[in-house]
Amino acid sequence: MKVEQAKQIASKAIEQLSEALERGHSETLRNYLAAMAKFHRYSLHNLILIVSQRPDATRVAGFHTWKQLGRNVKKGAKGIMILAPVVLRKRTEEVPLEEDQSKAAVSFRVVYVFDQVDTEGEPISELGSAHGDPAGYTEKLKQFVAQRGIQIEYSDAIYPAQGQCSPAKIILLPGQSPAEEYATLAHEAAHLCGVTTYVVK
């Protein structure tokens, strides 16, 4: 029953998104794209479930995952319903038990995840965030990129991405901190210049 309820929530959210786009309201789509950047490990179906139930969610995980991270879900916190795959093993009757060749059939069950605001405990590490002052290294990296005939531009149109590259061009999201801009530029330069590590000397 809960699986059907989750499917109904997702279907209604997709219908609302479709209606919003037909009316020319792209804000709903922008919200989903921003959520995709935050919850990239979740399927599109579960992403829709998360956003439709908790549009303000910033970081979600299951009860046991939060425990492993040194945090506890607060008493009374309302979970966000998502679907988790379940692998069922079926034995082929024609094959003797000792030679059983199992076939995996996928089913789904409802599980709950919780937003970080519904937890307490150890501070959450900010993986993937850049801090500090790159000083003149950003300019040196820009020179490195320019010497290879790559143009650098700034545009809000790439949001929620921080950077984007196409042949001979890198686009950066304006308004990033100096450390974030350097990290984003280095990442995009690695794509275009074919380098995995670049240390400015």
Q: Say what angle helices 44-53 and 27-38 make with each other, to 10 degrees.
A: 110
**pTM of full prediction above 0.85:** no
- Sorted by where each begins, the domain ranges of the chain are 2-121, 137-193
116-165 pLDDT tens trace: 999 999 887 654 567 788 888 999 999 999 998 999 999 888 776 788 88
The answer to whether 40 and 95 are in contact (CB under 8 A) is no
48-73 pLDDT tens trace: 899 889 988 888 989 998 988 889 99
The answer to whether 77 and 49 are in contact (CB under 8 A) is no
